[in-house]
């Protein structure tokens, strides 16, 4: 479904590429974890996959169409759902309105269906009382779960998440990983997660390590 072809990236002020000539394929119905030491470029890679930044070399293809052809704004709106800590929720809205707005903007099948949005939030432990508060009054972990619920409520086939369990306790981490597996397997989406936690990565269907500018699949 999603392919990288000769993908490379470097920041202007660095003399070395972060990664280069990356050729990977990601399929629907599967979950992928990306591991690697701090600073190796995992978040940068995810930003390219999420259409938040453009590759410096190579290309990214969605169903054999270049993201350049699809257009990044169009791609972000319809094809990808993002759970990033710094690219998260509408902070002036409630969780419920965050979901309803995202569903409306992306033209999701359940757009306008308040009960569906409330149920999706409830499945992630955000009950009716929290669902109508301002998201700024929720903890970091609760906000993270709202972002995951938003992903579940929208129809994008690709879900990318940067450290989705970064600020969750053990129980919540387990619940969130189970939800991501459900998103991949039951809803037939492609889930790509960056994580520092080998335990989290080992629950995904595939694990890659970013090291020395290359991705290696762990088996």
Ligand X SMILES: Nc1ncnc2c1ncn2[C@@H]1O[C@H](COP(=O)(O)OP(=O)(O)OP(=O)(O)O)[C@@H](O)[C@H]1O
**Taking CB under 6 A as the rule, does residue 38 contact ligand X?**
yes
Total residues at the site for ligand X (CB under 6 A)? 11
Residue 46: CB minimum distance to ligand X, A: 8
Q: Are 155 and 106 in contact (CB under 8 A)?
A: yes
Residues 15-34, interacting with ligand X (CB under 6 A): 18
Q: Can you tell me which of 39, 64, 129, 169 binds ligand X, judged by CB under 6 A?
A: 39
Options 11-19, 25-33, 64-72, 113-121: segment touching ligand X (CB under 6 A):
11-19
Options 41-49, 124-132, 138-146, 151-159: segment touching ligand X (CB under 6 A):
41-49
**Taking CB under 6 A as the rule, does residue 13 contact ligand X?**
yes
Task: Using CB atoms within 10 Å of the CB of residue 163, give its burial: 0 to 12 exposed, 13 to 18 middle, 19+ buried.
Answer: buried
State which residue, 123 or 197, has the beta carbon closest to ligand X: 197
**Taking CB under 6 A as the rule, does residue 55 contact ligand X?**
no
The span from the CA of 116 to the CA of 149, in Å, is 11
DSSP the chain: -EEEEEEEE--TT-SS-SEEEE--EE-TT-EEEEE--TTSSHHHHHHHHTTSS--SEEEEEETTEEHHHH-HHHHHHHTEEEEBTTB---TTS-HHHHHHHHHHHHT-TTTT-HHHHHHHHHHTT--HHHHTS-GGGS-HHHHHHHHHHHHHHS--SEEEEESTTTT--HHHHHHHHHHHHHHHHTS--EEEEE-S-HHHHTTSSEEEEEETTEEEEE-
Residue 31: CB minimum distance to ligand X, A: 19
Residue 187: CB minimum distance to ligand X, A: 26
Residue 36: CB minimum distance to ligand X, A: 6
Q: Can you tell me which of 22, 32, 33, 42 binds ligand X, judged by CB under 6 A?
A: 42
**Taking CB under 6 A as the rule, does residue 36 contact ligand X?**
yes
Residue 17: CB minimum distance to ligand X, A: 10
State which residue, 182 or 213, has the beta carbon closest to ligand X: 213
**Taking CB under 6 A as the rule, does residue 87 contact ligand X?**
no
Residue 82: CB minimum distance to ligand X, A: 15
Which positions lie near ligand X, rule CB under 6 A?
11, 13, 18, 36, 38-44
């Amino acid at each position: 479904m999603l392919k990288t072809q000769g993908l490379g990236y470097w920041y202007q002020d660095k003399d070395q590429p972060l990664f280069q000539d990356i050729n990977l394929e990601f399929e629907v119905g599967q979950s992928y974890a990306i591991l690697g030491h701090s600073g190796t470029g995992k978040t940068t890679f995810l930003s390219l996959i999420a259409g938040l930044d453009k590759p410096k070399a190579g290309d990214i293809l969605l169903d054999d169409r270049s993201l350049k052809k699809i257009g990044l704004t169009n791609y972000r709106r319809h094809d990808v759902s993002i759970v990033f800590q710094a690219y998260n929720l509408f902070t002036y809205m409630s969780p419920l309105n965050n979901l309803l707005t995202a569903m409306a903007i992306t033209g999701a099948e359940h757009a306008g269906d308040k009960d569906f949005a409330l149920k999706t939030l409830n499945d992630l432990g955000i009950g009716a009382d929290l669902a109508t508060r301002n998201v700024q009054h929720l903890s970091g972990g609760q906000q993270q779960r709202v972002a995951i619920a938003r992903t579940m409520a929208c129809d994008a086939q690709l879900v990318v998440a940067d450290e989705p369990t970064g600020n969750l306790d053990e129980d919540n981490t387990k619940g969130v990983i189970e939800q991501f597996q459900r998103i991949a397997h039951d809803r037939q989406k492609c889930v790509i997660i960056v994580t520092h936690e080998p335990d989290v990565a080992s629950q995904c269907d595939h694990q890659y390590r970013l090291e020395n500018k290359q991705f290696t699949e762990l088996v």
